[in-house]
C-alpha cells in the first residue's frame, strides 16, 4: 500500500523524488493544499490573537539541551556538523568526497541541531519575557521539522512542516487552550471531509526508560492526536497533536508567571504535509475535486 500510494503521488506530480527516502519535492497542487490548510487553521485560531514568531529550522545547542530531546528521542535528532580543518585537511576530505566515501573526517559538531518540533525555539523567547500573565500568552509558530526516520512511506518524511500554537499561562487556562484546539481540529477535519478520530497517544520515547515515559504520558492523557486513515487504512496516521507539558518546559527554560510560579505550557500542532497527503488520498490531486472550504481557501 505505501509503495502504490507513493507511485501515485509521483505520477500526478503531487510529489517529486528527492534523491533519498522521505525527501520529496512538492508540486503546485501540494503547495495549494498547504496554503489552504494554513489559512483554514489560522481562521479557526483567529480568536487566540496569537503573536507570530517564525524561526529557521535549526535550534541553538542550548535550547536543544534544555528540551531533553536527545535523552528522550536520541536517534531521531539531526545534529549539524561543519568542516573545521585547514587546507590540507580539506584536500583529504575532498578526496574521500570524490570517491563517494564518508568525507566527514574533519566535520565537527557546530552546536546546532535541526528543529524537531516548531514549538522548541519558542520556549527560550517566552522565558526571556518574565512575568507572563496567568490568562495566557499564545504564540503562532511554524517550521520545517526533522526526524531521522528514512522510510518509503510518504507519511513518514525526514523533513516536514508543522504549524503550531504554543500556550504559556496558568494550569486551567492551558487545559482550556488544549480543549479548544481539539474542538477546532474536529471542525477543521469535518470541513476537509476527512474521516478522523481524536485519540490518546504517546511520543516515540527511546529505550527502556522510554517505555515507562510513554505509559505515564498515556495514563495522564497528556497527548491527544487527530488521526486520519492515510497510507495504511488499518493504522491511521497522526495529522495533528494536542499536548500538555505541565511545567516540564517551564522548568527547563525558566518560564514564569507574574506571581513567580512556573507557567504551564501546552501546544497544538498540525502536520501540514501529512494533511496535504490526506487531501490527496481522500480527494485526489486536482483542486477541482477538493471540498469547497479548502478549494476556496487554497
State which of positions 226-285 bind a second copy (CB under 8 A). none
Of these, 1, 3, 17, 133, which contacts a second copy (CB under 8 A)? 17
Among 3, 25, 133, 190, binds a second copy (CB under 8 A): 25
Q: Which one of residues 87, 234, 288, 292 is an interface residue with a second copy (CB under 8 A)?
A: 87
What residues from 168 to 207 belong to the interface with a second copy (CB under 8 A)? 206-207
Q: Which of 141, 146, 144 is nearest to 116 (CA)?
A: 146
Site string for a second copy, 31-60 (x = CB under 8 A): x-------------------xxxxxxxxxx
Residue 179 contacts residue 224 (beta carbons within 8 Å): no
Q: Map the footprint of a second copy across residues 116-155, applying CB under 8 A.
A: 121-122, 124-125, 128, 144, 146, 148
Q: Which of 43, 97, 130, 187 binds a second copy (CB under 8 A)?
A: 97
Residue 192, number of CB atoms within 10 A of its CB: 23
Least Å distance between CB 235 and a second copy? 24
Region binding a second copy by CB under 8 A among candidate stretches 78-86, 178-186, 211-219, 239-247? 78-86
Contact indicator for 214, 72 with CB cutoff of 8 Å: no
Q: Report if residue 7 touches a second copy, rule: CB under 8 A.
A: no
Dist CA 135 CA 167 (whole Å): 10
In 152-249 the beta strands, taken as DSSP E runs, fall at 159-169, 197-200, 223-232, 235-246
Nearest C-alpha neighbor of 250 from the set 234, 265, 271: 265
Tell me the CA distances in angstroms from 174 to 177, 198, 254, one per residue in order.
5, 19, 17
Which lies closer to a second copy via its Cβ, residue 18 or residue 284?
18
Amino acid at each position: 500500500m505505501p509503495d502504490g500510494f507513493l507511485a501515485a503521488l509521483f505520477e500526478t506530480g503531487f510529489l517529486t523524488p528527492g534523491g533519498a527516502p522521505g525527501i520529496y519535492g512538492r508540486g503546485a497542487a501540494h503547495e495549494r493544499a498547504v496554503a489552504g490548510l494554513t489559512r483554514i487553521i489560522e481562521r479557526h485560531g483567529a480568536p487566540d490573537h496569537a503573536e507570530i514568531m517564525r524561526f529557521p529550522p535549526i535550534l541553538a545547542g542550548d535550547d536543544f539541551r534544555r528540551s531533553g530531546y536527545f535523552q528522550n528521542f536520541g536517534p531521531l535528532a539531526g545534529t549539524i556538523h561543519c568542516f573545521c580543518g585547514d587546507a590540507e585537511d580539506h584536500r583529504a576530505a575532498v578526496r574521500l568526497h570524490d570517491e563517494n566515501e564518508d568525507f566527514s573526517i574533519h566535520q565537527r559538531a557546530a552546536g546546532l541541531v535541526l528543529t524537531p518540533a516548531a514549538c522548541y525555539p519558542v520556549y527560550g523567547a517566552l522565558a526571556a519575557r518574565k512575568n507572563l500573565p496567568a490568562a495566557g500568552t499564545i504564540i503562532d509558530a511554524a517550521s520545517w521539522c526533522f526526524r531521522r526516520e528514512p522510510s518509503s512511506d510518504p507519511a513518514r518524511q525526514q523533513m516536514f512542516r508543522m504549524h503550531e500554537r504554543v500556550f504559556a499561562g496558568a494550569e486551567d487556562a492551558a487545559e482550556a487552550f488544549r480543549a479548544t484546539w481539539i474542538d477546532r481540529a474536529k471542525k477543521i477535519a469535518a470541513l476537509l471531509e476527512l474521516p478522523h478520530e481524536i485519540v490518546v497517544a504517546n511520543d516515540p520515547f527511546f529505550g527502556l526508560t522510554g517505555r515507562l515515559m510513554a505509559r505515564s504520558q498515556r495514563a495522564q492523557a497528556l497527548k491527544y492526536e487527530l488521526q486520519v486513515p492515510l497510507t495504511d487504512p488499518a493504522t491511521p496516521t497522526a495529522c495533528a497533536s494536542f499536548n500538555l507539558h505541565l511545567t516540564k518546559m517551564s522548568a527547563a527554560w525558566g518560564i514564569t508567571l507574574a506571581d513567580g510560579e512556573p507557567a504551564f505550557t501546552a501546544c497544538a500542532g498540525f502536520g501540514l504535509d501529512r494533511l496535504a497527503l490526506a487531501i490527496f488520498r481522500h480527494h485526489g490531486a486536482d483542486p477541482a475535486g477538493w471540498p469547497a472550504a479548502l478549494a476556496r481557501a487554497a
